[in-house]
Amino acid sequence: MHGAHEIRLGDVFSNEKMAKFYNTERQGLEAAKISQVIKEHQFKTYIESKEYVKSKQILKIVDKVHGRAMQTKL
């Protein structure tokens, strides 16, 4: 039995509004996680753990920003 706030994967594929809702929820969860790792000074480690972040240029920028953040009280 599905709860009032559960989304079936089949609904996501067959219903554009459900797909948008699902994507919005996932982005919200990711934003909450990023906020948490920033507070814990673990953002660089978090980004490096993501498979989709393979660009050395992105990691170089993250490293630079992370260094600045570690010097500043958040």
- Say what the pLDDT of residue 4 is: 61
Q: Are residues 20 and 46 in the same domain?
A: no
25 and 7 in a common domain: yes
Residue 3 confidence (pLDDT): 53
Residues 35 and 1 in one domain: yes
Indicate whether this model's pTM tops 0.75: no
Give the chain's mean pLDDT: 80
Tokens 């490096």, located at residue = 48
What mean pLDDT is predicted for residues 53-73?
Answer: 76
Segments forming the whole domain that contains residue 8: 1-40
State whether 29 and 17 are in the same domain.
yes
Position 74 pLDDT exceeds 70: no
pLDDT in tens, 16-39: 888 888 889 889 999 999 889 888
